[in-house]
Amino acid sequence: MNSISLPMVRKVAVIGPECTGKSELAEHLAGHFKTSWVPEYARGYINNLIRPYQQHDLLAIARGQVRLEDEWVRGSHSVMFCDTNLYVIKVWSEFKFGNCDEEILLQIAHRKYDLYLLTYVDVPWEEDPQREHPDKRDQLYQLYLNEMTNQTVPFVEIKGERESRIKAAIDAVEKILE
């Protein structure tokens, strides 16, 4: 039996503290590159809870995020954008609960990405029932920056006004597609 191989799809994860424009950037990039973007699984999951989320929920969220990525990659064209990934769940788990589930850490070690776009905290805070720490975004950004500098995948910090953010992100993605 012949196996059909899928064309290689580059995976770009947009990560950073809450309310830093990750979703808008992922959606814009997908439109620019005429491909798909994977939404943040956590938002729907938490919206459907009838209680405050707990640490064990983060493992379910991580599994859901991975499942979405694996499903959506089939419909992507040369590049797929992920509005968050397991690093976001890791940072949040360690920040809020003091540790991270081993399964999440193992998935981080084994899942392949080609580029991270790390969104900076220079956009205005917008209230949202799922957002928790408007006063700790700088601290959280430093945690993300530390994660990025201690792994091997290229990353680009996304800062500035909307148009300069978009340009920096497009330029970084075009480099990995060359």
Question: Does some domain include residue 66?
Answer: yes
| 79 located within any domain | yes
> How confident is the model at residue 15, as a pLDDT?
97
- Within a domain: residue 3? no
The pLDDT profile of the chain, 178 residues, written as one tens digit per residue, is: 444 445 689 999 999 999 999 999 999 999 999 999 999 999 899 999 999 999 999 999 999 999 999 999 988 889 999 999 999 999 999 999 999 999 999 999 999 999 999 999 999 888 766 777 788 999 999 999 999 999 999 999 999 999 999 999 999 999 999 8
Looking at residue 110, which CATH number applies to its domain? Answer: 3.40.50.300
**Cα–Cα dist 47/130, whole Å:** 8
> What local confidence, expressed as pLDDT, does residue 64 receive?
97
Strand positions, DSSP E, 36-89: 37-38, 79-83
Q: Is residue 4 part of a domain?
A: no
pLDDT at position 126 = 83
Alpha-carbon gap, residue 7 to 74, rounded angstroms? 9
* Site of tokens 């953010």: 165
In whole angstroms, what is the distance from residue 78 CA to residue 34 CA? 9
Cα–Cα distance list, 50 to 39, 53, 63, 88 (Å)? 22, 9, 20, 23
Domain membership of residue 1 (yes or no) is no
Distance CA 10, CA 114 (A): 6
Number of H helices, E strands in the chain: 7, 5
Distance from the first to the final alpha carbon of the chain: 33
For residue 34, being part of any structural domain is answered with: yes
Determine the structural domain holding residue 123 and report its residue range: 10-177
Q: Is 135 domain-assigned?
A: yes
Domain count, the chain: 1
Write down the pTM of the prediction.
0.93
